[in-house]
């Protein structure tokens, strides 16, 4: 972990880097302005807080992050989680609501920074991809449905699928027709832009790269168009909800006055936001880094994201993390270093100084359409089908995560997913896979008797153990071995084949001693084969090897050859 990873690219910064980064910064800035406003709306915060969260955090990450192309800022899932957490302690629109959101950013930043200093980057491995995918899919659905209130122009509330749908239904008679038309038109246009504008521009003669960049600026086009319509048709007088006054200028760098009570109420939510944001950011960073044969350092990412969130808090923003869409745009636009993020931050600052008066007339329905189209890329319902066909335990974890998130809300949803994933892992580890194996004819290999035609020797049972042995699965091992022995009255030798056993803890050792003693009483020897060196080191420190009724063999083939009865023909299964 380095104090300032940016020094690596600063030393070799060239004119080519400058031109590439400036171009990427212009494209990302154009994209970030509507995104920042939209995600502030999603979090239930004033529009300017979205801009503030896209200035100083970009600079902080640029100096401390290990990815050269990751772009940080407000993202959909974290914004939804912020709204869910802050909404429990303050009313949306109140001063306390904004203060709590800033406190959330500071608390999350401190947690991430602390985890980075403590080198907790391995935490990213504890959230399985299916659980994260399921959570993001369910969150995307909730986000899309929550934005329908702005498309319809009604005052619906709720933080889960049931409450949102029922609230929308109850307020449906109050919908504003002009708001609905604006929202639908903006959504349809943005959906078409995503897939149809680039091919159209290419057919008209525009180069593919330029056409792709213009298509990514679709939200800017729809913002300009709806602002113009708002002014010409006097949307405000017709009851269409507008963004309203956005203070002009840069944020004031200070911490608000909030007490320990808010911190204690937000602690769990801040931890969940930190973990989800970190996992999402690292996933995006690794994907982009791999394309250029670069690498990112998880512990450094924790420090950088922590600094970005602290920077967001002291500049009046809310929690941020690395965003997929903006990072991909940054990458595709040719960004070579994190200087592109610094230039983009300058661009956002200029927008905060010069463009905010125009934003007064921007319909909230336009921002809602931007969010709905953006989160469609997050929804991956196919993960259920893939998980079902590949792993039922992963399917269970995904199904629990999606269901809990939709019905109980984002916080309980991600907690349920984490607990389900850990619980299923523990359940599998308490029942390790074991197989009776036999020799593959003409080779020294041994395979499962239920999968291949193999040779077994009378009076010998070879059991392959495919898991390390510890206190949670030792009893299961004992039960299975006794069941195997009970089915074979002619048995003389038991061989435990241990190529996958990496550890044997004291509880498992005591069970092996008990198995050895009980088998010896029945005139059956217990033997081991293919035991790893580190496991043998532990066995030698005990008296198990002295008590062992059989032997320890280097290979399974040697064990069978030494123990088989020469006068009896083997069985072919």
Who has greater pLDDT, 528 or 243? 528
**What percentage of the chain reaches a pLDDT higher than 70?**
97
Pair 23, 333: CB distance under 8 Å: yes
DSSP assignment of 57-122 equals HHHHHHHH-S-SS--EE--HHHHHHHHHHHTTTS-TTSHHHHHHHHHHHHHHHHHHHHHHHTT-GG
By the 10 Å C-beta count (0-12 exposed, 13-18 middle, 19+ buried), 83 is classed as buried
Q: Are 166 and 158 in contact (CB under 8 A)?
A: yes
Query: Mind listing the pLDDT tens digit for each residue in 51-85?
Result: 999 999 999 999 998 888 888 999 888 998 898 88
pLDDT of residue 124: 65
Residue 23 gets which letter from DSSP? Answer: H
CATH architecture assigned to 434-572: 2-Layer Sandwich (3.30)
Alpha carbons 34 and 24: distance in angstroms, whole number: 17
Query: Token match 């999968």: residue?
Result: 451
Residue 49 near residue 316 (C-beta atoms within 8 A): yes
Collect all residues with Cβ–Cβ distance below 8 Å to 58 and sequence separation of at least 6: 71, 72, 73, 308, 341, 342, 344, 345, 348
Closest CA to 21 of 466, 328, 452, 339: 339
- Answer whether residue 25 shows pLDDT above 70: yes
The yes-or-no verdict on residue 334 having pLDDT over 80 is: no
Q: Which two tokens stand for residue 473?
A: 């699965």
Give the residue from 148, 34, 137, 204 showing the smallest Cα distance to 406: 137
Which of 161-170, 301-310, 388-397 shows the highest mean pLDDT? 301-310
For the four alpha carbons of 249, 253, 257 and 262, in that order, the dihedral sign comes to positive
The encoded tokens of residue 78 equal: 């974290």
**Residues in a beta bridge with 528:** 496, 552
With bands split at pLDDT 50, 70 and 90, how would you rate the model's confidence at 568?
very low
112: which 2 tokens?
A: 């991430």
Contacts of 316 (CB under 8 A, 6+ apart): 48, 49, 52, 102, 251, 252
**Are 477 and 508 contacting, i.e. CB atoms less than 8 angstroms apart?**
yes
> Mean pLDDT throughout 334-352?
89
- Whole-prediction pTM: 0.77
* CA–CA gap between residue 85 and residue 276 (Å, rounded): 14
Q: Sign of dihedral through CA atoms 7, 11, 15, 20?
A: negative
| pLDDT band, residue 479 (cuts 50/70/90) | very high
> For the chain, which residues make up each domain, given as ranges?
6-420, 434-572
Q: For the residues of 556-572, what is the DSSP string, one character each?
A: HHHHHHHHS-TTSPPEE
Mean pLDDT of all residues in the chain? 86
In contact, 82 and 43? CB cutoff 8 Å = yes
Residue 573: what pLDDT?
A: 47
What's the average model confidence in pLDDT over 279-289?
80
**pLDDT band of 257, cuts 50, 70, 90:** low
Tens digits of residue pLDDT in 418-440: 888 788 878 888 888 899 999 99
How far apart CA 35 and CA 506 sit, in angstroms, is 56
Separation CA 222–CA 423 (nearest Å): 47
Report the SS3 class of residue 222. helix
- Nearby residues of 25 by Cβ (< 8 Å), 6 or more positions away: 335, 340, 341, 342, 343, 344, 346, 347
Residue with tokens 């992050």: 65
Q: Could you tell me which of 164, 170, 166, 159 has the C-alpha nearest to residue 87? A: 159
CA distance 331 to 327: 6
């Amino acid at each position: 972990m380095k104090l300032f990873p940016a020094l690596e690219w600063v030393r070799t910064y060239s004119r080519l880097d400058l031109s590439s980064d400036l171009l990427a910064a212009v494209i990302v800035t154009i994209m970030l302005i509507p995104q920042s406003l939209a995600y502030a709306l999603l979090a239930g915060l004033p529009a300017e807080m979205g801009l503030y969260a896209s200035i100083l955090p970009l600079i902080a990450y640029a100096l401390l992050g290990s990815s050269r192309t990751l772009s940080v800022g407000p993202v959909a899932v974290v914004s939804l989680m912020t709204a869910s957490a802050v909404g429990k302690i303050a009313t949306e629109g109140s001063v306390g609501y904004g203060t709590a959101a800033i406190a959330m950013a500071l608390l999350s930043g401190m947690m991430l920074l602390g985890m980075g200093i403590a080198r907790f980057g391995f935490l990213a491995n504890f959230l399985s991809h299916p659980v994260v995918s399921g959570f993001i899919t369910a969150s995307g659905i909730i986000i899309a449905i929550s934005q329908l209130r702005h498309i319809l122009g009604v005052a619906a509330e709720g933080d889960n699928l049931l409450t949102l749908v029922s609230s929308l239904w109850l307020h449906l008679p109050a919908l504003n027709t002009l708001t609905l038309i604006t929202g639908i038109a903006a959504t349809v246009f943005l959906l078409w832009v995503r897939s149809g504008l680039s091919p159209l521009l290419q057919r008209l003669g525009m180069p593919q790269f330029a056409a792709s960049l213009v298509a990514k600026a679709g939200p800017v086009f729809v913002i300009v168009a709806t602002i113009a319509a708002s002014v010409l048709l006097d949307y405000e007088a017709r009851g269409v909800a507008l963004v309203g006054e956005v203070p002009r200028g840069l944020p004031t760098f200070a911490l608000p006055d909030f007490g320990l009570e808010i911190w204690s109420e937000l602690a769990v939510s801040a931890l969940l936001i930190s973990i989800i944001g970190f996992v999402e950011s690292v996933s995006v960073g690794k994907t982009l880094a791999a394309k250029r044969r670069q690498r990112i350092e998880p512990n450094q990412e924790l420090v950088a994201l922590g600094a970005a969130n602290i920077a967001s808090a002291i500049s009046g923003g809310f929690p941020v993390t690395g965003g997929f869409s903006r990072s991909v745009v940054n990458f595709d636009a040719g960004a070579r270093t994190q200087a592109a993020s610094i230039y983009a931050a300058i661009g956002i600052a200029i927008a905060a100084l010069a463009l905010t008066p125009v934003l007064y007339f921007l319909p909230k329905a336009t921002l809602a359409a931007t969010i709905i189209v953006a989160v469609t890329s997050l929804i991956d319902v196919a993960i259920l089908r893939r998980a079902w066909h590949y792993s039922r335990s992963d399917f269970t974890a995904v199904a629990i995560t999606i269901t809990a998130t939709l019905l109980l809300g984002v916080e309980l949803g991600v907690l349920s997913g984490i607990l389900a994933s850990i619980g299923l892992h523990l359940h599998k580890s308490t029942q390790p896979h074991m197989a009776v194996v036999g020799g593959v004819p003409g080779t020294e290999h041994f395979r499962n008797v239920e999968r291949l035609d193999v040779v077994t020797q009378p009076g010998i049972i070879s059991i392959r153990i495919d898991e390390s042995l510890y206190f949670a699965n030792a009893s299961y091992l004992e039960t299975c071995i006794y069941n195997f022995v009970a089915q074979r009255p002619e048995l003389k030798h038991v061989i435990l084949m241990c190529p996958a056993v990496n550890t044997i803890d004291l509880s498992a050792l005591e069970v092996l001693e008990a198995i050895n003693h009980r088998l010896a009483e029945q005139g059956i020897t217990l033997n081991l084969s293919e035991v790893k060196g580190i496991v043998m080191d532990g066995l030698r420190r005990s008296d198990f090897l002295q008590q062992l009724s059989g032997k320890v063999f280097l290979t399974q083939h040697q064990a069978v050859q030494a123990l088989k009865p020469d006068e009896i023909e083997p069985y072919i299964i």
